[in-house]
């Protein structure tokens, strides 16, 4: 049986598993009516999501360590108001400079 044709945007990876794990891979692929490639592509996508979540949790922990008291909604609204006021002041300053 000839190997399936590859598209120019795909790459082949060779991986090895212990026999008992390889049998489980084949069984799951058959149960889900997927190819082993499809199974591993989906597994890797899941891994990437988990990795992003771990990174996010690490960042949240670092932020919490720097500021153990979380901001309230009122705090956030205050920050937004401050930034908007600063941006407005900069625009007015720019308009005044252009007018002179």
Residues 44-78 have pLDDT tens digits of: 999 999 999 999 999 999 988 888 887 889 999 99
Which residues contact residue 32 at a Cβ distance below 8 angstroms, ignoring those fewer than 6 apart?
39
Identify the three-state secondary structure at position 46.
Answer: helix
Boundaries of every domain in the chain: 15-69, 71-100
Here the tokens at position 32 are: 């889900």
Residue 6 has pLDDT above 70, yes or no: no
């Amino acid at each position: 049986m000839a190997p399936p044709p590859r598209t120019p945007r795909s790459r082949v990876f060779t991986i090895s598993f212990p026999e008992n794990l390889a049998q489980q891979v084949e069984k799951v692929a058959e149960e889900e009516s997927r190819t082993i490639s499809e199974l591993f592509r989906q597994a890797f996508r899941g891994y990437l999501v988990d990795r992003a979540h771990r990174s996010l949790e690490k960042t949240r922990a670092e932020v919490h360590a720097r500021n153990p008291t979380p901001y309230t909604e009122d705090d956030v609204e205050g920050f937004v108001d401050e930034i908007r006021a600063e941006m407005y002041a900069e625009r007015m300053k720019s308009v005044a400079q252009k007018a002179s």
